Every structure is written in structure tokens, then in C-alpha cells.
Amino acid sequence: MAEGAVYLWTLPMFHCNGWCFPWSLAALCGTNICLRQVTAKAVYSAIAEYGVTHFCAAPVVLNTIVNAPPDETILPLPHVVHVMTAGAAPPPSVLLAMSQKGFRVAHTYGLSETYGPSTVCAWKPEWDSLPLVTQGRLNARQGVRYIGLEGLDIFNPQTMQPVPADGPLPKQ
């Protein structure tokens, strides 16, 4: 996040992808935007009214955002909004739909008991030229381990062999 980021709270601060942001935003002279209730309409309104640049959300919240009725959305978005999602792996179709609406989603996975995110699906510039469906499948992968977790491996579910972060996608 850059200095002056505007962060929308859609998950609790104690949550894996939440507990690093209160102090990060203070260090970056950022702004916190809190919602009374997380709804698609409230998310879109906060983006338009307050210039939200970032938020974290569970895949179910992303699903709510992409399936919101037209009268609850503000599209096109006034700018790209960066989103981090974690927990259960988000379906590629949800990641694709978020991308089509102007959100840039990073898929992470975390261990709240130990630290924030443990892995992040680091976007590669060469993915920009791939078909959107392939981009969605790539972004749904668990990704690259954080430096403090050198013992963590990502496995191909078909072969149960470790897969390098830039390795080929398993056949579906």
C-alpha cells in the first residue's frame, strides 16, 4: 500500500488479514473506513464516496460484491481497488468477475494463530496477456510462501507433489 491509502474494513481487526493493517495504515498516513454492515451497496458506496483504494474480504464477500444487483453497484469503478482475499480458496469464477469489475484481487492464505498471511498468490506480469479464465485459475492458487515459512509447500492435489509457485497448473 502506498502513502495515503484508504482502507475499507470488511473483516475484524483480529482476523488474519486484518491485524497488520491498523498500524500499517497509521505508518502510511492512511485512512480507515468502517462499515456498520458489510453489504455490496455499502462497499461500492464507500469506494465512490471516500475513494477506497484497498480492502480485505472473505471469498463470500467477494461473491456478494460480484452478484450485487445493478442498483447496488457503482460501475465502472472510479479507479482500481486492491483487494486481498483469504480463507477458503476463492473460486476462479469469482476472481474473474471481480477483475472484470475493476478490482485487483490478491489471493492469500493465513494462519491467524501465528502471523497474518502465510502465502500470497503473487501476480506475474506475463499473466496479463493470458485469457481471463486462465488468469482466474492462476490467481486462485495458494501461491508463494512468506519468508518466515520456508518449510511450507504447495502441493498439486492430483499428484501430491510440491509445485513451484511458477509451475504449471494441474489439469482440471
Q: What pLDDT was estimated at residue 107?
A: 79
Please determine, for residue 41, whether its predicted confidence score (pLDDT) is greater than 90: yes
55-107 tens-digit pLDDT: 988 889 999 999 999 999 988 999 999 998 877 778 888 988 998 999 998 87
31 domain-assigned? yes
171 domain-assigned? no
pTM as predicted: 0.74
Q: What pLDDT was estimated at residue 164?
A: 62
Mean pLDDT of 28-32: 93
Q: What pLDDT was estimated at residue 96?
A: 87
Q: Which residue has the higher pLDDT, 166 or 28?
A: 28
24 domain-assigned? yes
51 domain-assigned? yes
For all residues of the chain together, what is the average pLDDT?
A: 81
Query: Domain holding 13: CATH number?
Result: 3.40.50.12780
**pLDDT above 90 as % of the chain:** 34
Q: What pLDDT was estimated at residue 29?
A: 93
126 domain-assigned? yes
Listed in sequence order, the DSSP H helices in the chain are 21-27, 40-50, 59-66, 92-101, 132-139
Contacts for 138 with CB less than 8 Å, ≥ 6 apart: 121, 127, 130, 169
Q: What pLDDT was estimated at residue 153?
A: 66
Q: What pLDDT was estimated at residue 139?
A: 77
140 domain-assigned? yes
Q: What does the DSSP assignment read for 35-46?
A: -SS--HHHHHHH
101 domain-assigned? yes
Q: Return the residue matching grid coordinates 515459512.
A: 149
158 domain-assigned? no
Q: Which residue has the higher pLDDT, 87 or 133?
A: 133
Domain that holds residue 73: 6-149
Q: What pLDDT was estimated at residue 92?
A: 84
Overall number of domains in the chain: 1
